[in-house]
A and B are shown apart, each in its own frame.
Chain A
Amino acid sequence: MILDWIEFLLIGAGLSLDVFSMIACQSARLAKINKPRMIVIALLAAGWQTGALYVGRYFGVLLKSLDKRPNADRAERLIAAAVFILMGIRMLWKAKKEAQIEEVRQEKVAYLSVIKMLGGITLYTILTGFAVGFLSASLTIVLPIIAALTIIMIIVGFVVGYLYGAALKTKAYFLGGILFLVVSAGILVRYVLVP
């Protein structure tokens, strides 16, 4: 296995900070948090993210098994690092954009809006899973980390958005971007740039 559990944590945290930012924006409009709804949304998001990551990883592993070239490992690690760089740049760009949300009261966070939000990031989660598959990551490590971090970040996002508004989303996107870039740098240094 190429990545150790700390790097899985960083990848999971990076993905989860994306979800945190989105849910904080929604929660910033609430007069009151409905705790059962929050738990349902956390479980829905965790299931969605682990499902998307699983799909991406499946295709990553499949493609890896079909590639019989002598230097295939090096190329796959380079592609994985490139995916994480792309993810990092994407999140830093979102942090820079700093779009202000309209703080208008809403009675609840609708399940449909959560699904739309998750749908918007599915491609990036699948890409991340793809990269993780290229790096031969174990499902028994990756999926529980992603699920746990997603649940934690949804709950934290709800509370932070409710109490502080969406102000922290910029910092969250920035941190997520840095985490992805740190992981990609680690892969490049250890497995690609070093002969």
Chain B
Amino acid sequence: MNGAQSVDDQLAESFKQLVLKRPIEKITIKEITSLAGVIRPTFYNHFQDKYELLEWIIRRDLVAPISSMIGKSRSDAALEMLFSGVQKEADFYTRARRLEGQNSFESIVLKCIEDVLKVAINGRKANEGILATLSLDNLVRYYAKSMSMILLNWIDDGMKRSPEEMVRLYCFVRDHSFEDVLKELED
């Protein structure tokens, strides 16, 4: 519904503004709703807590634009778009990255990436070969962890490299074995 969606967007924009000023742990729902111009109980009609709101923002801004690209031979372009999306709101994601604990930024990002990979793999199965013996869930988790790890390290590093460079880096690691890396390295 358009009315409900606009309230979600209002809460999201309000939350983003507050994250630029204080740690997420210290932000209250009253502050989010006051800035969004709604009464406090409205928040709970849309989100369980502020961590669910953060997850919603990540899905809306970062995951939704790339979800149709994953699994259609455009995964690298999708990854570059993901990095660009984070870079576009560098301040917000740098601060959100500091969120630790049970609802850490890391765990939310991992969950979101896992979900989009699962959708891409949904309904498919391997009838033979090594994939037939592997758990697809574990495989999805492996790729999701590697993507989120490189994204989070990039944020921690101050986003010094460009999104294109980061994707090249990721693709190199993804496409080469450790032995290949050792061969490349000089003694």
Contacts and interface: CB of A to CB of B under 8 A. Distances in A.
Contacts of B122: none
Q: Decide if the interface of chain B is mainly helix, strand, loop or mixed.
A: helix
B30 A167 contact: yes
Interface string B61-74: 00000000000000
Interface stretch (B39-47, B127-135, B179-187): B39-47
Contact of B39 (A30, A104, A105, A163): A163
Given A164-B30, A165-B28, A167-B30, A105 B44 contact: yes
A103 B52 CA distance: 11
B35 interface: no
A100 interface: yes
Nearest to B40: A163
Contacts of B47: 105
A114 B61 CA distance: 41
A167 B39 contact: no
Residues of B in contact with A, size category? 10 to 19
A159 B30 CA distance: 14
Contacts of B50: 103
Given A163-B41, A165-B40, A105 B30 contact: no
Interface string B1-32: 00000000000000000000000011011100
A32 B50 CA distance: 18
A29 B40 CA distance: 10
A180 B39 CA distance: 35
Interface of A: 28-32, 100, 102-105, 162-165, 167
**5 smallest A-B Cβ distances: which pairs?**
A31-B44, A105-B44, A165-B30, A104-B49, A103-B29
